[in-house]
Amino acid sequence: MSSTLHKVTIQDLIRLKQKDEPIVMVTAYDYPTALLADRAGIDVILVGDSIGNNVLGYEHTLQVSMDEMISHSRAVSKATERALIVGDMPYMSYQPSDRDAVLNAGAFMRDAEVDAVKLEGGTAVLSRIKAIIAAGIPVMGHIGLTPQSFSLLGGYRVQGRDSGSALRLLNEALALQDAGIFALVLEAVPAPVAKAITERLEIPTIGIGAGPYCDGQVLVFHDIFGLSQRSLPKFAKRYVDLSKHILKGFCMYKEDVKSRKFPDEEHSYSLSPEELNKFQQALS
Ligand SMILES: Nc1nc(=O)c2c([nH]1)NC[C@@H]1CN(c3ccc(C(=O)N[C@@H](CCC(=O)O)C(=O)O)cc3)CN21
Ligand SMILES: CC(C)C(=O)C(=O)O
Ligand SMILES: [Mg+2]
């Protein structure tokens, strides 16, 4: 699909699973980042509620509002030509009722021009998912470690580590597929569990901390580029340490200003000799 020039569609993602070609997804929260992810040929861009701890300075994702998600999702969709854009429904935008879920999913589509929404949960959110899809909005599922249930789960813990809970994850995946989701995020589940789920679903699975047998992978932008504040989860991989480069740039700028090396002539505006002359006479 990296060769596809047209906008990536949900049907393209299903075809990638059928062709056994991995789907690449990454989070992005702003215009310049989305431009680069799109140019790199990333298939799916997730405007994650992980914006909370990575960009907005919150400790977790629970404080993220619909307004924040909409303005950042709009920036991402304006920058993107090819990638499919998924808006992550924030805490309490879908939990209270099917009506809330449809109205807020609709806001993502109408006000932020995303292509689909994602929400966390299994059987507990089946009716939410059905209601959103009935409104004509594609839904991506998300099970395993669901960060909006951080407290209920007792922290950011790997899920499905015993045969009983592994089987429950598989059954939830099947129920979500029946409800009509087009893809499913599996977060922090043992690789053999993700493999079993992936083999039994017709829709693609996209793993984060779910091993190599998923149909696709997703990572958080700040983890890839060494910009996350906390220690990385075991599953995250830092490809480039941008923080090192950004810190160096800030220091160089600071030194230049303090030593009056910046701004120099090249970065200043001049006045023509005649106008300068007139100006100086007027001043005296
Ligand atoms: N920068 C960033 N990366 C993420 O992957 C991410 C976010 N932010 N914010 C929202 C959630 C939170 N996530 C997390 C956060 C911590 C762990 C973590 O520390 N996990 C332990 C597993 C402990 C166990 O064995 O059960 C680890 O050591 O990896 C996992 C996922 C994933 N998401
Ligand atoms: C980690 C991904 C799947 C996510 O939900 C997020 O970034 O918010
Ligand atoms: Mg999320």
pLDDT in tens, 194-203: 999 999 999 9
Residue with tokens 């090819």: 82
| pTM higher than the cut 0.90 | yes
The reply to whether 142 and 91 lie within a common domain is yes
Q: How far is the CA of 139 from the centre of ligand 1 (A)?
A: 23
pLDDT tens string 45-103: 999 999 999 999 999 999 999 999 999 999 999 999 999 999 999 999 999 999 999 99
Q: Are residues 175 and 129 part of one domain? A: yes
Decide if 4 is inside a domain.
no
Q: For residues 231 and 252, state if they share a domain.
A: no
Mark whether 102 and 144 lie in a shared domain.
yes
β-strand pairing of 23-27 with 44-47: parallel
| Pair of tokens at residue 117 | 């929404």
Same domain (yes/no): 159, 199: yes
Are residues 215 and 133 both part of a single domain?
yes
- CATH code, domain with 146: 3.20.20.60
Asked if residue 78 and residue 110 are part of one domain, the reply reads yes
Query: For position 3, what pLDDT does the model report?
Result: 57
217 and 254 housed in the same domain: no
34-68 burial: b if 16+ Cβ within 10 Å, else e: bbebbeeebbbbbbbbbbbbbbeeeebbbebebeb
5 within a domain of the structure (yes/no) = no
Q: What is the mean pLDDT of residues 101-110?
A: 99
> Which residue out of 26, 220, 227 has the highest number of ligand 1 atoms within 8 Å of its CB and is therefore the one to mutate?
220
- Is 187 an active-site residue? yes
Is position 2 within any domain? Answer: no
Pocket of ligand 2 (CB under 6 A): 27, 46, 48-50, 88, 185, 187, 208, 218, 220
The amino acid that residue 262 corresponds to is: F
Annotated binding site for Mg(2+): 49, 88, 120
Contact status, residue 186 vs residue 197, Cβ threshold 8 Å: yes
Would you say residue 125 lies in a domain? yes
pLDDT in tens, 138-191: 999 999 999 999 999 999 999 999 999 999 999 999 999 999 999 999 999 999
Residue 3 lies in a domain: no
Residues 216 and 257 in one domain: no
Pair (229, 255) in one structural domain: no
Which residue, by CA, sits nearest to atom 2 of ligand 2? 48
Both 73 and 141 in one domain: the answer is yes
Q: Measured between alpha carbons, how far is 181 from 122 in angstroms, rounded to an integer? A: 11
For 35, the domain range is 10-240
Active-site choice (59, 81, 187, 274): 187
Q: Which ligand number lies closest to the CA of residue 217?
A: 2
Number of domains in the chain: 2
Residues 164-177 have pLDDT tens digits of 999 999 999 999 99
Tell the residue nearest (CA) to atom 8 of ligand 2: 48
Q: Residue 1: its pLDDT value, please?
A: 47
Is residue 50 situated within a structural domain? yes
Question: Could you tell me if 167 and 261 lie in one domain?
Answer: no
Ligand 1 center to 233 CA (angstroms)? 5
Q: Is residue 67 part of a domain?
A: yes
- Distance from C-alpha of 269 to C-alpha of 78, rounded to nearest angstrom: 33
| Nearest ligand, CA 188 | 1
